[in-house]
A and B are shown apart, each in its own frame.
Chain A
């Protein structure tokens, strides 16, 4: 099992976001949908320990996350945040940053290609790119760490329709070609259905599987 949540209570800014949450996320691609403020991003942050639950536990492939080395975990369970937040410097600086910290070599061109960017982007200044391109650099620098799981927080929310479709194509390729497990948080049920084999809805009653019938009715 990719992730198991057991009786998890999480807070953010001093407020309880959800409590007593149970859920299982399988290997493969899982979409998590729900309205704003329900705690989708908070849930994602628990999965690579940017935050810890105040109560309960999260297990990753059978092991309590608190027992894992947090830096190694974050390299293997890569999170791409909702908004681009790049380091100052070039695209290449951003892509090689994570592997360099881990003492590994990075394949800049391969990482950029996987994220749908031409390797010629390497020397360009990150801050000068469009939001869509920056979002791809965010993806590329996470992929440079060769993670086995990608956590995606509303990966297309800042993009126009064309850029959104292109990112979705990239994500599908990553899922199918590299066999990456994806956990995709989105408010868009149709996008979740397009990208994930299984969709869970997060609401006040917890995590509930959304059936294929609901997809079709959308």
Chain B
């Protein structure tokens, strides 16, 4: 790298001017979002600052054990967050935890085994974080769809069971659609990358002074890695969650009514 960017807190504070525009729009159009924007700004500042110190400490120690601990914490938080989006899927936490953990472990192990990245904290932390974050979003979308579709298709599922279908067979079309809805956003953004938007890693590397060729290659590696991770995570999340809708005797369990939380 030829140069690194050093930003002071004053530079960060200056960009609050753009947040002010967002708040102004919210107030002007009465979208009732100004509180959410304030919370988002405050949380992002606190969370990113905190994780910045944590990553700094881990980079200094360069201990694989601490990397593993940090990624494990991310997986647990990711599973909690995704479960919040999958309210209509019973007991979604454990399938999500397993899905995220497996996706992160398998993809990181593969890129290390292929020698794409060295096994150091500087590579594993950001790449692991991206994998877990994308896997979380995709799994949450997939399970959200799964829960909604099962609730909407109770009649069709039971009619299919009544024909002697197993629970796996009866839910198959719905599971397939859920998988698709989890994976399509990343596939679409991979298709349009470089045309409609510049992905974050590439932007970061260019800003940090890397050559465009290096920036592009790293971005491609990450995109392909994410495709694999997201496919694995959504597949596991859907396959493991669908069982919770049925008894061992291929009966659809009674589904709880959706719990609507105020403001949600």
Q: Do A and B bind each other?
A: yes
Q: With A52-B251, A88-B173 known to touch, is A145 a contact of B155 (CB < 8 Å)?
A: no
Any chain A CB within 8 A of the CB of B164?
Answer: yes
Interface size range on B against A: 10 to 19
Q: Which residues of B contact A88 (CB under 8 A)?
A: 173
Name the contact of B249 in the complex, choosing from A14, A49, A83 (C-beta under 8 A): A49
B254:A85 contact, CB within 8 angstroms? no
Known pairs A88-B173, A101-B164 / 8 extra A-B pairs, C-beta < 8 Å: A50-B162, A51-B251, A71-B166, A78-B163, A85-B160, A86-B156, A142-B162, A145-B164
Query: Is A72 at the interface (CB under 8 A from chain B)?
Result: yes
Residues of A within 8 Å of B220, CB to CB, are: none
Cα distance A88–B149 in the bound complex, in angstroms:
14
A70 part of interface (Cβ distance < 8 Å): yes
Contact of B158 among A13, A14, A50 (CB under 8 A): A50
Please give the distance in Å from A60's CB to the nearest CB on chain B: 15
Q: Indicate with 1 or 0, residue by residue over A154-180, a CB within 8 angstroms of chain B CB atoms.
A: 000000000000000000000000000
* B40 contacts the other chain (CB 8 A): no
Select the residue from B155, B162, B169 with max chain A CB neighbours within 10 A: B162
Contacts of B227 in A (CB 8 A): none
With the chains together, A123 CA to B252 CA distance in Å?
A: 30
Distance, CA A87 to CA B160, complexed state (A) = 8
Partner of A78, one of B162, B165, B169: B162
B164 pairs with A98, CB closer than 8 A: yes
Query: Closest residue of chain A to B157, judged by CB?
Result: A85
24 residue pairs bridging A and B, Cβ less than 8 Å apart:
A48-B162, A50-B161, A50-B252, A51-B251, A52-B251, A71-B166, A71-B250, A72-B164, A74-B161, A74-B163, A74-B164, A75-B164, A85-B158, A85-B160, A86-B156, A86-B159, A87-B173, A88-B173, A98-B163, A98-B164, A98-B165, A101-B169, A142-B163, A145-B164
- B249 in contact with A85 (CB, 8 Å): no
Interface residues of A, count at CB 8 A: 29
Question: Would A97 and B249 be within 8 Å (CB), given that A50-B158, A83-B155 are in contact?
Answer: no
A79 lies within 8 A of chain B by Cβ: yes
- Distance of B258 from chain A, by nearest CB (Å): 14
Q: Which 5 A-B pairs have the closest CB atoms?
A: A98-B163, A85-B159, A75-B164, A85-B156, A85-B155
Chain B, residue nearest A79 (CB) = B162
Q: Which residues of A contact B155 (CB under 8 A)?
A: 81, 83, 85
**CB-CB < 8 A to B159: which residues of A?**
81, 85-86, 138
Question: Shortest beta-carbon distance, B259 to chain A, in Å?
Answer: 14
Q: What distance in Å separates the Cβ of B177 from its nearest Cβ neighbour in chain A?
A: 10
Within 8 A of A (CB), among B146-182: 155-156, 158-166, 169, 173
Q: Mark A17-56, 1 if CB is under 8 A from B, else 0.
A: 0000000000000000000000000000000111110000
Cα(A50)–Cα(B159), bound, Å: 9
Chain B proximity of A173: nearest CB distance (Å): 22
Is residue A216 within 8 Å, beta carbon to beta carbon, of the partner chain? no
Q: Decide yes or no whether A16 CB sits under 8 A from chain B.
A: no
Name the B residues within 8 Å of A72 (CB-CB). Answer: 164
Cβ-based interface call for A102 (8 A): yes
Chain A residues closer than 8 Å to B250, beta-carbon distance: 70-71
Q: Give B222 Cβ to nearest chain A Cβ, in Å.
A: 37
Name the residue on B nearest A89 (C-beta): B173
A75 vs B250: C-alpha distance in the bound complex, in angstroms? 13
- Is A136 engaged at the interface, CB distance under 8 Å to the other chain? no
Which residues of the other chain, A, contact B254 by a CB distance below 8 angstroms? 12-14
The 0/1 profile, CB within 8 Å of B marked 1, for residues 123-152 of chain A is 000000000000000100110010000000
Q: A81-B155, A81-B158, A101-B169 are in contact. Are A52 and B249 (CB under 8 A)?
A: yes
For A49, what are the chain B residues with a Cβ–Cβ distance below 8 Å? 249, 251
Q: Report the nearest A residue to B154, measured CB to CB.
A: A85
